[in-house]
Chain A
Amino acid sequence: MFRAVLESMNDAVYVRDLGRKLIYINPAAERMTGWSLEEALAKPCYEVFGDPGQACNKLCPIDACLASGEPAQHQEGRLVRRDGAVIDARVSISPLFDDGAIVGSVVALQDLSEIQDLMRTRTQDLERVSENLGRSEERITAIVENIFEGIVTIDSTGIIQWMNRAASEMFGYAAEEITGQNIKILMPEPFKREHDTYLRRYLQTGKANIIGTGREVQGRRRDGSTFPMELEIAELKLENERMFLGVTKDITERKVAEQQILDRTTELETANAELEAFGYSVSHDLRAPLRGMDGLSQALLEDYGDLLDSVAKDYLSRISKASRRMGRMIDDILKLSRATRQEIQVLDVDLSALARELLSELAARDDGRAVSFKVASDITVRGDPKLLRVVLDNLLGNAWKFTGNVESAHIEFGHHWEDDVAVYFVRDNGAGFDMAFADKLFGIFQRLHSTTEFEGTGVGLATVARLVRRHGGRVWAEGRVNEGATLYFTL
């Protein structure tokens, strides 16, 4: 049974007697040495398993093992095959006992060349990996050097270890001259003064001011000038060494832009406040003298009418009328300014219902007139209900007014589509206008009719235009003299 085991083993095994004569070699040993069992049995062991280059006889480890009676494991050995090839082997030697006496030894040899092949492959693998590592390090270096953000690393005492090109350009230091300096050199006061404390406190307590969050601070260039920068700090541990990585971005341009926006906002707020104050004083102060003019003209007519001839009375009534007209204009400007100032609140607005409501109000106010209207149903839009009411009120009011001299007045509110955009319109068959003046319609105080023809202050359509624009829409008009007008708007 032992023989069967020996014969099926991959390791070479031989047995020799005390006189170095081979007693047995297994098939693996035959393959390893190139000698057959028969050939080997006639030879001393060192001729089959020896290395002619080594002093096998003098320092034979097998003899040493036989002498001590102790097995020797995993010895390095080398043998020269029958064909001259050299094989490195791991050798294990055990003494062979017979009735308590050492009679020889069993030697097992493991061919190391396979393991060596394996190791060679592994070494090649490792070399490839390290080459790849080198390449990715190159890549990382390239990225880090060309990245827009500045990167600086410091050790736990604040000493700069390294900075990338962007940081070096940002601060005006060459990487070589900054290495070894304290990071404080890159900070203006008060950051400079406080940095040691920050760092110490963080290392002691772990209480971070900036680490892991990022904030806006001031950086100091080599020439002493400062600049705003965004700074983020990360803590790293490399080979047990605690260090900090700072990523900085010069935000001078952004700061300038922000300041400009801030300045502009302040300017606008001031302008708005002034406008509001102006509106207030218009409402208060400019109306009072007008009331005086109108009131005193009337008082003169009433109290001293019998002393005045008809021309004088006409003059007084003109003063009266003019002042009332100016009062209305002021009121309309105020309405316009309020409408443009008001915050837009976007809701669903049923324009059809609104148009019908406004038209019936107009009809109720002006009972004597028969005006037919057509209002398209179910026109619902998104917009500010109050402001859209002002828009429709002006447009329908205009239509009502300008059809005043027409026998069968007709007003229509509807909509159609133009390239996926809903276009709403108010159409009338009234006085119309000359298209040559179409662009004048929406200017403030611009009127295409005299006040004797049609009352008005010239603010209505200017208000409509502003409100439609505030809804992100457009407004325009089409018309012909005496053939009516159509006012279009989008939202």
Chain B
Amino acid sequence: MPEVTILLVEDNLDDELLTVRELRRQSVANEIVVARDGAEALEYLFGESAYADRDATDTPALVLLDLKLPKIDGLEVLKRIRADARTALTPVTILTSSDEQKDMIESYNLGANSYVRKPVDFDQFREAIRQLQLYWLVVNEPPPKPLA
């Protein structure tokens, strides 16, 4: 069985470092792919441009998606993920600094599976990552892969 990946869409290098570090410290073994803007995230997911040789039906186990991103913002990325049959069921967790109500409502409207606000307090951040990975990678049954 090929190893399922986690796609982390994050433009802040510190957040990226701390998130990846925390996932590794918590023994998450999955490959972690980092996209630093919305366009790169979509290219990875749909096997385009730099990711042309990737099999797009091989969807990530979890997408951790920031909202405020260069080029294409998180909500637009989410919209396109849901609009494409290959990724329509892929679990997407919004991981963002924003707790604006309109962002939450819009995210859920567009089909986000969960919404987590990144806390400033690192202990809380760590706890959020722990629960996230535990739930989505261990507890949750992933959507079945479409039969090729």
A residues lining the B interface (CB < 8 Å) = 280, 283-285, 287-292, 294-299, 320, 323-324, 326-328, 330-331, 334
Given contacts A295-B18, A299-B18, A299-B21, contact A288 B122 (CB under 8 A): no
How many B residues face the partner with a CB closer than 8 A? 20
Main SS class of interface, B: loop
In whole angstroms, how far apart are the Cα atoms of A334 and B98 in the complex? 11
In the complex, the chain A residue whose C-beta lies closest to that of B22 is A295
B99 at interface, CB cutoff 8 A: yes
A285, A296, A299, A323: the one contacting B120 at CB < 8 Å is A323
Given contacts A284-B68, A296-B14, A299-B18, contact A291 B98 (CB under 8 A): no
Q: Which residues of A contact B118 (CB under 8 A)?
A: 287-288, 291
In whole angstroms, how far apart are the Cα atoms of A299 and B20 in the complex? 12
Q: List 13 A-B contacts (CB under 8 A).
A: A283-B97, A284-B98, A285-B97, A288-B118, A291-B118, A292-B14, A294-B120, A296-B14, A298-B123, A299-B17, A299-B18, A324-B121, A328-B120
Given contacts A294-B121, A295-B122, A324-B121, contact A288 B12 (CB under 8 A): yes
Q: Which B77-124 residues sit within 8 Å CB-CB of chain A?
A: 96-100, 118-123
Q: Which B118-147 residues sit within 8 Å CB-CB of chain A?
A: 118-123, 125
CB-based closest 8 A-B pairs: A327-B120, A292-B14, A295-B18, A295-B122, A294-B122, A284-B97, A298-B122, A287-B97
Q: Which residues of B contact A280 (CB under 8 A)?
A: 98, 100
Main SS class of interface, A: helix
B15 at interface, CB cutoff 8 A: yes
Q: Which residues of B contact A292 (CB under 8 A)?
A: 12, 14-15, 18
Q: Which residues of A contact B100 (CB under 8 A)?
A: 280, 283
Please tell me if the beta carbons of B121 and A288 are within 8 angstroms of each other in the complex: no
Interchain nearest-CB distance for A423 vs B (Å)? 34
Please tell me if the beta carbons of B14 and A283 are within 8 angstroms of each other in the complex: no
In whole angstroms, how far apart are the Cα atoms of A381 and B143 in the complex? 52
Q: Which residues of A contact B96 (CB under 8 A)?
A: 284
Please tell me if the beta carbons of B21 and A291 are within 8 angstroms of each other in the complex: no
In whole angstroms, how far apart are the Cα atoms of A323 and B14 in the complex? 14
B14, B67, B68, B99: the one contacting A291 at CB < 8 Å is B14
Q: Which residues of A contact B12 (CB under 8 A)?
A: 288, 292
Q: Which residues of B contact A289 (CB under 8 A)?
A: 14
Please tell me if the beta carbons of A296 and B18 are within 8 angstroms of each other in the complex: yes
Interchain nearest-CB distance for A295 vs B (Å)? 4
Interchain nearest-CB distance for A324 vs B (Å)? 5
Knowing that A290-B120, A292-B15, A324-B120 touch, tell me 17 more A-B residue pairs with CB under 8 angstroms.
A283-B98, A285-B68, A287-B97, A291-B97, A291-B118, A292-B12, A295-B14, A295-B18, A295-B125, A296-B14, A296-B17, A297-B122, A298-B122, A299-B17, A327-B120, A330-B120, A331-B120
